[in-house]
Each structure stands twice: as structure tokens, then as C-alpha cells.
Chain A
Amino acid sequence: MKRVDLSVKPRPTKHSQPGVREQHGGYSRRTMLKGLLRGSAVAVALPWLEIFAGRRARACDDGFPLRFGLYFWGNGNVPEYWVPGTEGYDWELSELLTPLADVKPWVSVISGMSVKLPNTEPHTSGAAGLLSGMSLDTINGEYTFAGPTIDQIIADQIGGETIFPSIQTGATDCTGQSWNGPSSRNYPETNPYTLYERLFGATFRAPGEEGLVDPSLGLRQSILDSVMEDILALQSRVGASDRARLEQHLDGIRELETRLARLQEDPPSLAACVQPPALTADFADQEGRPQISARSRAMCDMIAMSFACDQTRVVGHYLTDPVGDVLFPGATAGHHSLTHDEADPQSEVRAITTECMAELAYLLSALANIPEGDATLLDHCVIMATSEISQGRTHSLDDMPLLLCGGGCGAFKTNYHYRSYTQENVSTAMLSVIRGMGIPAASFGADDGLTTDSLSDIEA
């Protein structure tokens, strides 16, 4: 990756502590711009270096921000066909990873890691243990994660600069695996058309697009102010658990207020950011089967562009849910049923896992096809791909499937296979990812899932 001239002004480097907030004095970018120009109404496109320089998230050496994506599919894999036979930088694609051939330089495989927490509920324990590092909790007989998932830990730190702190997308009717804490789930957007409207619909403004600020944005804010007053007053009258729930509601209101404020600012001047063409495909089921690939690809195109437009820096993309019994193209039964009932060597399950990797390859290619500076968007991403179990049939939490993809701004070894022979705690890899995103976290997880050490073997 070629480095650019750093003479404009100092900005965070790879070794700074971007988790520490830089002071803006409370001024929005628009205000700063006006100040610079002494209130003049002249529209000036700032060079992209300056646009990112003031922001607090981790920036790569070339000034672009580092983005995080979680790519998730349900029901695990077939480990003996997943784990590459060779290790280190000389690794070769295994059968199930063959779709990643074109993007292999950006892919690292981490194998042999374990979820160390009790495996009490098939699938769900694994999802909670892997993504939150904590045991599954039960409230009123329903399972809930006990703490935030890795995407929200990251979004809490780096999501504050963008229109959306994070977005969640689902290629099938799924619930996703993003949690803020107990009984507080972030459901994915599963309708490509609704996703388009949120990201690129009426409120979208392309970089450099002239135009008056929409007065309705401010009016919408005035409603949110009024709603916030109602919630705050109500909080003082209810019990502790309701106060906490209302606090989550307030978080959502504040997020929306921030978004409305940002939409009144000029969008960042980013060369790669263009409004994608409106969707035209019909994503309805065909022959009783969901169009997983078409839906996922439409969403991944939008995810890539929302990164390129710096609308968000954290995404969770869910192909299917744990236990999902989705009928994949060509399969003779639902995915979950097949993992349990198909005889060895489970050729149908392997075909489905391969399809899950083909859709990951599509996402990575979409990111690689967007130039950013002298590099690509994929160079400025960490895409973590995983599932809630290893082998579907046994619900095993040993040898979890885990890929780290993207350049990661140089934080991780790329095109590398690390294999653990000691069933190391997978939380160490999560902590590596969090720290690689520039967040100086002391630990990840709790109880047997707790770690204060990251997995240095995968770090650059």
C-alpha cells in the first residue's frame, strides 16, 4: 500500500490511541468549515485527508478509517473439509474455502480455537460465547446474551462519527446475532429495498451535491426533543428494569438525533461515494426457496458503498441464523436438518458451506473493487467471518470456523493460516480484533470466556 504525503496536518497514526477521543470543542464539521472560511458561503471540497483527520476512529497510515464487518452464517461447517492442510503464509485453500481464491491475499484463517464457556444450549451457547465471550443467560425461559457482542463493542467506540453507528443486514429472514446486553437485540434489516431507502433513499446526498438543507430534518429533531422529555419524566416513575429499557430507547432517540444533525452537514468528500442505482430485482422466494445469493449480493453492494460514503464503519451481515433450516438451492432438506441427518461425508452440507463462502467472496470482492486513495476499500476493512459452532452435527465448540479478511490497515497478518493445537480460547482472537480496530480494550468476555491477552500470533 502506497503511503501519501503527510504534510497537510498531523493525524492519528497506526500506533496512536484512537480509542481516546480527540477534542473538537463540540463543533460540527460544518461549523468548522464555516469558521475556516470566515462564514463565507463558498463551497469548498476539502481533501479527504483533512476530512478524516479530525475524526477519532482508528485511521490507516494513508488516512482512511478502518471499518469492521461481521459476516455470519448459521450451523457451522464440516471441519475436516474446512481447515487448510498447510499453515503460515504458505497455506492453501481447503475444499470449503475454494470460493475465496480470488481474494485469498486478503484472507487469514484462524483454526483450532475453542469457545471455553459451557455448551448448554445447542447453537445459542456457541453464538453467545463466541461473539460476547459470555455464557448464555435465561430470562423468563427465553435465552438472551448476557453482554454486548463484538460488533457493538466496536461500534460503541468508533460508531460515533458516522450517520449510522452500525448497521445490521440479513440475507434471509433472520434475527441476527447483535446484542447490546440482556434482552436488547439489534435486529437486521432483511428487506433489500428498505435497506436501500435507509442508506441511499430520500435523505442521501452525494459528496459535493449542492442544495439547501431540508427544513424537515430540524423539525423532526424538535419532535425527538419532546419525546426525550417524555421518556426522562417517565423514567423517574418506573422500576429499575423499565428504567434500563427506557435508557435503551433514549439511546435510539439520541442516535437518530445525531443522524438528523449529520444529514444537515455536507457529506464527506469521498471520491468513491456515489448513489447506487435503485434496486429493480424481485427478491421473492423462487420455487419455495429464498434467493439467498441475490439478496445477499444486493445487500453487500450497499454495505460496500455505505463504507465508501462513510455512512457507517461497523456492519453485521447475517446470511442465515443458527438452527436456520433454510432450503438452499439444490439441497434436499433444510440446512439445519441436513447437518444432523445427512450421512457422512455430508456432501450437501459441504455444498451449503461452500455457498456461504461464495457469498463472503462476493462481499470481499465488492470491497476490493472500490478504490480508496492508492489502495482499496478492502485494505481498510477487517471482515470477520464466522459461525456459532464448528461441526453442525455435534454442536461442537472446538475448532471454531474463523476468518479474518481485509487489509485491516496492517494490523493483522494477511493471507495466513494460524492453527492452534492447544484449543486456545477464541476470545483471544476477538480481543485481537477489538484492539486491531484501535480500541484499547483491557479484556474480552467473562468467566471461562474471559481473556486479557490477545492472540499475538495473528497480529502483524
Chain B
Amino acid sequence: MLPLLLACVTPDPPREPPPTLEPAGPVLKRLTAAQYGNSLRDLLGDTLVVPDDLEPDAASDGLLVVGGTVNSLSSLGVEQYETAAFDVAAQALGDETLRARLIPCSTEDDACASAVLEALGRRAWRRPLTDAELGRITDVARNASVVLGDWDRGLEYGVASILQSPHFLYRVELGEDDPELPGEHRYTSTDMATRLSYFLWNSTPDDELLAAGEAGELVTDAGIDAQVDRLLADPRARAGVRDFFDQMLMLYELEDLSKDPAVYVHTSSTVGSSAREETLALAEWLAFDEDGDYRDFYTSTTTFIDSKLATIYAVPAPSLAGFAETVLPADGGRRGFLGHVSFLALQAHPTSTSPTRRGQFIREVLFCTSLAAPPADVDTSIPEPSASYPTMRARLQEHMSNPECSGCHMLTDPIGLGFENFDGLGGWRVTENDNPINASGDLDGAPFTNAWGLAGAVHDNPNLGPCLTRTMYQYATGHAVDDRERDLISWHADGFASHDFRIQWLIRDITASSGFRRVGAVE
């Protein structure tokens, strides 16, 4: 940045130079189902109906994007990609609006087909096609149009061909020798276009970003900064932040939420989807509308609910259909993400709460602490509710006192019991089996008397910011981080803390990171 410009803004606090990094080698990243869908809609049109019968994403190190660098595609997955490619191609040629967008020329000949496939190929593969590649795809289309006697049908095969290629299904970012640092490697400028757009938009680069990549602009600080500014100002950046929180908090699991309606009368087949939307809306609002402090995610009384959630929260429903911003009452006991149905219902059982799961989630997902699995060959039962064990706290006592269990359960259960005023769906309650609920406890030395206080203790916990930094770094780079990156991640975490934990600041900081821009040799 120019010194002249620096004078115009509040100067950043002095920052140590980043630690040097020995970067990991490149890995292929298979698109997640969300990236696949977003990319196709950006390529072909918003009205495209993206098939959802795809190989399920599986998390690795907590993130689906990392799973996309580790897991192999099954034979069924290959077949599903083929079916989806033809489904999408048929829509792209069969729908009048989508067809007009795809085909700029009016003559139905080889030249037009080739031009269409060249343009789509460049966008879909996120780089220009070689002559040989384009030749093969146009051959497929020409052959199909002859056999089927239909130019459009032929083009469908060309489009389906582009969409089944590994160059579309995987992000191929292999890097190059760094001309300025002999012996070292960096991501190429076109690689960086792809890395920036999937990190910030969770989708494929647009024409301008691709052009900047192809022009070699994305190997410089200024070139990257300019595009990051533009990308963050685009509505697609909101979708990007939503996807990050969706993956980190595993909110996608809410689509399969199962609660017994005999126990939880306010449950329904769509309550999981509503709960997911509430949390994503809060994250989006905090990051963009507020440009806010990540820690407030845990203490915000502002939230976004529909009538289903309003019923569970026992607050007035929004006057319009759908979701609306609302402020939860200050004396209601509920605030922040940890008061959302998304957290409370997902980290629970179909007919009961689970203080262990709730506590474990905070340790593992919010604080990045790994816990050992329970011993496999022991009786893990807890007493059924009875006069002797009227509450969950009483029932869990065995796990917290038996030395074989207490090592881990003391890390999870005392925190999780802080949420016992919320039932297994997230509704408020003050008694359990007619016994008053004791929701007090302490989080790493910070005492709390209930979930409201616990939310504050989580907000203030020193692990919160560094853990988000680690998770976002991993989300951005798309690989499982290793020890070689620990110092660099700590450095980013320190910067995050000294910039009021602003989510957008962290996103920008990571786009400038050597961890995001440099790569090792192919291993």
C-alpha cells in the first residue's frame, strides 16, 4: 500500500512480520455439493435447478472442503455426476432464457458450437482450454448432433462433456516456480482467481476475476487487494461467509434433524432448515451489516426468526411470512448462537438433551480442543430418570465421578449442563421432572449461573478467536493444516484479536497470507 494512502486511514497497530512458512504441496479439491451448485448457477443462470443427487460431502478435520481433498469419489458418485451433467445441459439448452444466455450466435453451425463451448469451458474449468481439449469437446458435440440429427442436442453433449471433466469437478491449483524466489513455488495468477472466488464466494470466478488472473494480476499484493475489495462488496461474499459458518458449525446436519413430536410438540420436518437459516442469517448480519466482532456471535440478542422458531422461543412471530430480524428479551435467558435451536437441538438426542454433546461441541468446534473418544469396551449407560436421579445433572454424575470417564466428561458435561434450561429442541424450561434445574457451572475458571452467563464466558474465552482463525485458515487454504503452519496461524490470530475480532478483517488478512498464496512442490 502507498504511504500516501496510509496517512488517510487509521494506522494499523504495529505488527511483527509473519513467520516464514514451509508450504505444503498442492492437492486437488473436489467441489463440495454447494460449490458445484453455486458454480453451475453462476455459469449458466440463476434459474437453473441443480440436481441434488450427488456423492455426499464428508468432513475431514471438521470441514467439508478438507474432505474434498482427501476422500475419493465412488462409482455411484461418478454416475451421479454424469446424470447431473446431462440434466443441467438439457436445462441450459431447453430453457429459453438459459439458452439465450449460453448461445450468443444465431447460426446453428460448427463455428457457433465451438465458440459456445470455448467460452463455457473457460468459465467452467477456470482457465482457457487448450486447442486439443476444445477439439475433443467440439468433436463430441458435432458427432452427437449428426447422430441425433439435432444441433441443440449435440451441444448438450458438449456441455455435459465439459461438466464431467475433472477440470470442472476438481479445483486444479498446482502452482508454479516463483520467478522472484528461486527454488520456491507460488500459486499461479489463474490459480489465485479460483482460490479467491471459492474462499470468498464459495463459487466459480466471474469474468473479471478470471481476466485479472489471466492478466497475471493476482500474484501481487495490489492486484489481490483490489479483487478482494470487489469480491467482498459483492452479494456473493455473503454466501461465502454463510458457507464457512455452515461448515464450521456443521449446520448442514440440521436438514436431517429428527425429534420425537410426542416429546417436542413444536418440532416439524422443516424446523431444522429454519434453525439453520437463523444461525446463517446471524453470521451474515454480523460479518456484513455490522462488520462486527466475531465474539458477539455468542452474545447477540439480535436474531432472525420465522414463525416456527418464534413458537419455540415463545416470542412474537414476525408479522410477515418468512424470516425477520428480532431482538430477544434481555430477561429471557436466551442469547447468541448458543441459544439457537440450531445448536441446542442438533447437539441433543431425539427425545432428550445431551449436555455431553453440547459441551463437546464447544470444546472441539469453538475452542479447537480435541477430546479422546470414550473407551470402547465399557458400560457407558447412565441411570434412567427416577426419583433417585430426577435430573440430567444427577444422571450424569457417574460419568463425572468415575475416573475412567471423568477425564473427558469433566471437560464437557459441566459446560453442557449450563444449557439444561433448554430442552432437546431448544425450548425454555425451568424444571425437569418437577425438579428445579441447576444450570450453574464454570468454564475454565469463569463461573456462570445459567446459559446467559455461559454465553458471556464463551465470548470471553481466550480460545475463541484463535480457533476461528485456525478454522478459517483451513477453510481458505482447503487443506488439513499441519504443525508447520501453527506459528503462521497464531500470527493471524494475534492480528485478529488486535482488530476487534472483525470477521471481514480476518478474511482479508488470510487472502494476503503466504499460507494462501504459496505452495510447496508436488509431493
- A contacts, CB < 8 Å to B: 119-122, 125, 139-142, 165, 168, 173, 175, 180, 183-187, 189, 191, 194, 198, 215-216, 218-220, 222-224, 226-227, 229-231, 234, 237-242, 244-246, 248-249, 251-253, 255-256, 284-285, 287-290, 325-327, 332-334, 337, 340-343, 393-397
Contacts and interface: CB of A to CB of B under 8 A. Distances in A.
B319 interface: no
Ranked nearest first, the 10 interchain pairs of A and B with the lowest CB-CB distance are A252-B78, A248-B72, A184-B72, A119-B376, A252-B75, A140-B61, A140-B480, A334-B350, A333-B351, A288-B261
A227 B79 contact: no
A139 B71 CA distance: 10
B136 A229 contact: yes
Nearest to A259: B79
A251 B82 CA distance: 14
Contacts of A223: 82, 140, 157, 160-161, 164
Contact of B75 (A186, A239, A289): A186
Contacts of A140: 60-61, 66, 70, 480
Given A141-B61, A185-B74, A393 B350 contact: no
B55 A187 contact: yes
A198 B53 CA distance: 12
Question: Which of B53, B78, B376 has its CB near the most chain A CB atoms (within 10 A)?
Answer: B376
B143 A227 contact: no
B76 A334 contact: no
B433 interface: no
A139 B60 contact: yes
A256 B56 contact: no
A333 B350 contact: yes
A229 B166 CA distance: 10
Nearest to B259: A288
Contacts of A343: 384
Given A141-B61, A230-B167, A327 B260 contact: yes
A285 B255 CA distance: 13
B407 to A, nearest CB: 16
B376 A288 contact: no
B165 interface: yes
A349 to B, nearest CB: 11
Nearest to A335: B350
Given A234-B166, A284-B269, A285-B258, 6 more contacts: A120-B376, A198-B79, A227-B165, A245-B73, A289-B260, A340-B382
B408 interface: no
23 contacts: A119-B377, A139-B70, A140-B70, A142-B67, A180-B72, A183-B71, A185-B58, A198-B79, A219-B143, A223-B82, A223-B157, A223-B161, A226-B161, A226-B165, A230-B133, A238-B522, A248-B74, A252-B79, A287-B261, A290-B258, A333-B352, A395-B378, A396-B377
Contact of A393 (B58, B351, B381): B381
B189 interface: no
A202 B143 CA distance: 23
B62 interface: yes
B373 interface: yes
A216 B150 CA distance: 12
A222 B351 CA distance: 53
Contacts of A240: 523
